[in-house]
């Protein structure tokens, strides 16, 4: 008796792996590598303007490095289009699209090949502030497509499933992001680079885009007393004008550190040694940065948008919630988080235990593999 058949899966839409920044990229790396460990053939399409070195294999995944047009409006869709054609030529079993916009070419394999199509929606991309009216129209059309074209639609959070059910009468499968258990690292690289010590700073990690609201955090920080620093780890996502405005805001307070994109050991040190991780976003899917910070037992301060509440559940020691968009409410939440560091850290460690038990990459892979076999008629 033979076991289940090995699957050939193409991952399309991500910028590439190894993931240096971006939640979608990290999701694909962790999902794809674990599927490869189970014996499946995973092809990950990488944009040559993202990957630092053009590898042919990484963590058991086959990498296809294809060019794109380096512009805000064409970067994702052009790469997704050429990747789709390549995947169809290779005769894969599943074409798995990630994010809304890159899924627009999904009709090609869906109706012109034997491959089945799966699409993971990581957030409501049409609502992102960087897009103008024309781009929003295209992204709304792409969201409609994500609900109607794929053989199965995955969403990373329950609130997104509610949106698809209400708006498109489409049942979406909720398969969230995962996180690993992390050990706390002593501050070494971050001390050498920025002079940071344990508990001496608050941390924001993410793309510097308006909907993540780092501007709100920088402005609020001016009213925070003391010499504790604010570290903003992230960079532009075709949002150079916005980043320049943040640089002007940060210049008014020498305690604000614009660290740029940080990854690897220095990022792990930043998470582990922060007095608090602050995520003031107005729009998210299910942010990996929130799960990562929680997995270190670091106290959290987050806006009360649905994805954050889904993870944190309530405002309490170790995981403070504030009213999204309100500088005064953010200041109050930070003050509560800083008021009793020992109690906040103890509560954050309890949160860590719940997070790492709930959001497991192995469970993500189990559910995704099961869905693949379902659409292929193997389950």
Q: Is the pLDDT of residue 188 over 90?
A: yes
Least confident of 70-84, 93-107, 301-315: 70-84
Query: Mind listing the pLDDT tens digit for each residue in 111-127?
Result: 999 999 999 999 887 77
Query: Mind listing the pLDDT tens digit for each residue in 334-364?
Result: 999 999 999 999 999 999 999 999 999 999 9
The pLDDT score that the predictor gives to residue 128 is 73
Domain boundaries, the chain: 8-178+360-375, 189-358
What's the CA angle centered on 113, arms 108 and 116, to 5 degrees?
A: 85
Structure tokens at 291: 């799960």
Q: Looking at the structure, give the CATH architecture of the domain made up of residues 8-178+360-375.
A: 3-Layer(aba) Sandwich (3.40)
Cα separation of 47 and 120, whole Å? 19
First vs last C-alpha separation in the chain: 17
Query: Mind listing the pLDDT tens digit for each residue in 189-208?
Result: 999 999 999 999 999 999 99
Q: Provide the mean pLDDT of the chain.
A: 94
Question: What is the SS3 assignment for the chain?
Answer: CCCCCCCEEEEECCCCCCCCCCHHHHHHHHHHHHHHHCCCEEEEEEECCCCCCCCCEECCEEEEEECCCCCCCCHHHHHHHHHHHHHHHHCCCEEEEECCHHHHHHHHHHHHCCCEEEEEECCCHHHCCCCCHHHHHHHHHHHHHHHHCCCEEEECCHHHHHHHHHHHCCCCEECCCCCCCCCCCCCCHHHHHHCCCCCCEEEEECCCCHHHCHHHHHHHHCCCCCCCEEEEECCCCCCHHHHHHHHHHHHCCCCEEEEECCCCHHHHHHHHHCCEEEECCCCCCCCHHHHHHHHCCCCEEEECCHHHHHHHCCCECCEEEECCCCHHHHHHHHHHHHHCHHHHHHHHHHHHHHHHHHCCHHHHHHHHHHHHHHHCCCC
pLDDT band at 20 (very low <50, low <70, confident <90, very high): confident
Cα separation of 104 and 140, whole Å? 11
Q: Is the pLDDT of residue 4 over 90?
A: no
Q: Is the pLDDT of residue 3 over 60?
A: no
* CB-neighbour burial class of residue 183 (10 A; exposed 0-12, middle 13-18, buried 19+): exposed
Report, as an integer, the average pLDDT of 226-237.
94
The residue count of the chain comes to 379
Query: Mind listing the pLDDT tens digit for each residue in 132-143?
Result: 888 889 889 999
Least confident of 31-40, 178-187, 312-321, 333-342: 178-187
CB 29, CB 63: distance < 8 Å: no
Report, as an integer, the average pLDDT of 14-31.
92
Cα separation of 30 and 361, whole Å? 7
pLDDT band at 5 (very low <50, low <70, confident <90, very high): confident
The pLDDT score that the predictor gives to residue 379 is 72
Query: Mind listing the pLDDT tens digit for each residue in 241-299?
Result: 999 999 999 999 999 999 999 999 999 999 999 999 999 999 998 999 999 999 999 99
The percentage of residues in the chain with a pLDDT greater than 90, rounded to a whole number, is 85
The pLDDT score that the predictor gives to residue 104 is 96
User: In whole angstroms, what separates CA 231 from the centre of its chain?
Assistant: 19
CATH superfamily of the 189-358 domain: Glycogen Phosphorylase B; (3.40.50.2000)
pLDDT band at 172 (very low <50, low <70, confident <90, very high): very high
Equal CATH topology for 8-178+360-375 and 189-358: yes
Cα separation of 292 and 298, whole Å? 9
Q: Is the pLDDT of residue 1 over 60?
A: no
């Amino acid at each position: 008796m033979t076991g289940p058949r090995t699957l050939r899966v193409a991952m399309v839409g991500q910028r590439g792996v190894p993931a240096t920044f971006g939640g979608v990229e990290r999701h694909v790396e962790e999902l794809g590598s674990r599927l490869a460990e189970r014996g499946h053939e995973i092809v990950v399409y990488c944009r040559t303007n993202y990957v630092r070195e053009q590898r042919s294999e990484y963590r058991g995944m086959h990498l296809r490095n294809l060019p794109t047009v380096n512009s805000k409006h064409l970067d994702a869709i052009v790469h997704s289009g050429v990747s789709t054609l390549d995947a169809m030529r290779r005769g894969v079993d599943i074409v798995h699209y990630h994010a809304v916009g890159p899924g627009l070419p999904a009709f090609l394999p869906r109706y012109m090949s034997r491959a089945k199509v799966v699409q993971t929606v990581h957030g409501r991309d049409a609502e992102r502030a960087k897009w103008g009216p024309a781009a929003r129209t295209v992204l709304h059309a792409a969201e409609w497509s994500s609900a109607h074209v794929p053989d199965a639609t995955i969403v990373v959070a329950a609130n997104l499933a509610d949106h698809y059910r209400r708006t498109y009468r489409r049942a979406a499968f909720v398969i969230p992001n995962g996180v690993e258990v992390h050990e706390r690292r002593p501050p070494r690289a971050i001390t050498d680079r920025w002079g940071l010590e344990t508990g001496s700073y608050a941390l924001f990690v993410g793309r510097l885009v308006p909907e993540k609201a780092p501007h709100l955090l920088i402005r609020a920080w001016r009213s925070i007393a003391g010499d504790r620093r604010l570290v903003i780890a992230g960079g532009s996502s075709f949002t150079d004008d916005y980043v320049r405005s943040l640089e002007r805001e940060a210049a008014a307070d020498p305690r604000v550190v614009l660290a740029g994109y940080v990854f690897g050991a220095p990022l792990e040190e930043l998470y582990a040694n922060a007095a608090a991780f602050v995520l003031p976003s107005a729009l998210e899917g299910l942010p990996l940065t929130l799960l990562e910070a929680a997995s270190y037992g670091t106290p959290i301060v987050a806006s009360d948008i649905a994805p954050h509440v889904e993870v944190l559940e309530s405002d309490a020691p170790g995981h403070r919630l504030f009213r999204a968009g309100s500088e005064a409410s953010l200041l109050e939440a930070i003050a509560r988080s800083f008021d009793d560091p020992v109690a906040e850290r103890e509560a954050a460690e309890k949160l860590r235990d719940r997070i790492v038990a709930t959001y497991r990459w192995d469970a993500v892979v189990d559910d995704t593999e099961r869905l693949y076999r379902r659409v292929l008629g193997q389950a």
